Structure 1
Amino acid sequence: MPKIPATAVAATGIIGGYAIARWTKKRPLGGVALAAAGAVAAYEWHRAGGSKASVGLSTAYIAAFAGSHPLAKKIGAWPAVFTAAGTVSAASWAVTRRAKAWAGQPA
């Protein structure tokens, strides 16, 4: 089975969680999707960069989700969700790439 990068999982969790909550009109269902993707991403972040990377990126994931709410009032819901997803993806990419470089693995 091909490995899906944690960067993609995290972005999909934020975008997919919002989409599910919006289209089903069941916010808890969107939260389940967000949490499930976050757990998978955290596992991959831990594998790639260790505990510090996993904790830091998991915190960024939660902060991006929380930050999208007030941002949505300024720029709209979907732009805020895409901004949050892009931000956490960029952080994930940077941290996991750096961790791989330190470990001597190809980035």
Structure 2
Amino acid sequence: MFVVPVPLVAALSFLLGFGVADLTGVRPLGGLVLVAGGVWCARQVRPVAGTARTVVLLLVALALFVVSHPLGHEIGSWAAVLVVSALVALAAAVLGGPPRGRASRAAA
């Protein structure tokens, strides 16, 4: 079975969401892509990491989305999207796995 890494989908959600909005000129359509990616990531992360860490990950993603806008004015839109995409992937990698100690307790 092929497993798609959550950090990859998280980053691609930002990149593709902005790309769709930029190419079509329809910002809500790009937002729909971003939300769809966020929902997919949340559904994958919650059973592994728990509800609290999933909510934190979604809040980090939301904060990065907000930050990307003023950052885009400073460094350019695509550069800002690349930066926040890398950061959301990092957040997904850190928060998307099982909490420390969970795996060892389950094995005991």
Measured against aligned partners, the alpha-carbon deviations of 1:33-90 in whole angstroms (never above 9, x if no partner) come to: 0000000011112122000110000001111111100000111101100111111111
Look up the match of 2:103: 104
Distance 1:7 1:47 in 2: 16
TM-score (norm 1): 0.89
Letter in 2 for 1:70: P
Asked if 2 retains the 8 angstrom alpha-carbon contact of 1:8 and 1:89, the reply is yes
Look up the match of 1:36: 36
Letter in 2 for 1:14: F
Distance 1:4 1:100 in 2: 20
Distance 2:14 2:101 in 1: 29
Distance 1:50 1:10 in 2: 17
Look up the match of 1:83: 83
Q: Larger relative CO (CA 8 A, sep 6+): 1 or 2?
A: 2
Can you give the 5+ residue segments of structure 2 that lack an aligned partner in the other structure?
none
Can you give the 5+ residue segments of structure 1 that lack an aligned partner in the other structure?
none
Shift of 1:91: 1.1
Runs of 4+ in 1 over 6 A off after TM superposition: none
Shift of 1:92: 1.1
Residue identity over aligned pairs, in percent, reads 32
- Whichever of the two has the greater Rg, that structure is 2
Aligned length: 104
Match status 1:5 vs 2:5: yes
